[in-house]
Structure formats: structure tokens, C-alpha cells
Amino acid sequence: MEDDPFELLLGFNASQRRRMEVGVHVLRFRRRKFRGEYFYSVELSKEGKVETLGLFTDYAPAVRYAGKLVKAIMYE
């Protein structure tokens, strides 16, 4: 299955900015180190309440997930 380049670009931008606001939605991309391993969390909030949370051990799936979320709320 091919990745949408637009989604990858959105996800990469979200990972670099760490906090992205789209209307009333806020997407947070975080990286945490726990016991020598990095974890990536992607959190989507609407009006201060968490709607979706994704936890990943690899960067690439986290970027894809963030891109899909941003694209979905842009075209909502």
C-alpha cells in the first residue's frame, strides 16, 4: 500500500512543530525516552479534551498517523 505524499508531509511538519492547531483541534507530537527506548505519542484534542491518542515505538508510523489525522481534520 502506497503512502500519500501529502499525508507524509503533513505528518513530518507536525513532528517538527510538535504542536499544530487546525481550527479547534490541537495535534501534539511528542517523543519520550523510557528505559533507553524512544516512544512517540500523537495526541489529537478538540476544545481541550483528548479525542485520539496513538503510541508508537517507531518514528515512521507515528508520522503517518499524524499525517492522517491532520488531513482528516482539514477536510472535515
Question: What's the CA gap between 23 and 66, in Å, rounded?
Answer: 16
Among 32, 30, 3, residue whose Cα is nearest residue 17: 30
pTM: 0.90
Question: Residue 1: is its pLDDT beyond 70?
Answer: no
Looking at the domain covering 5-74, what would its CATH class be?
alpha beta
Task: State pLDDT tens for residues 8-64.
Answer: 999 999 999 999 998 899 999 999 999 999 999 999 999 999 999 999 999 999 999
Cell of 49: 479534551
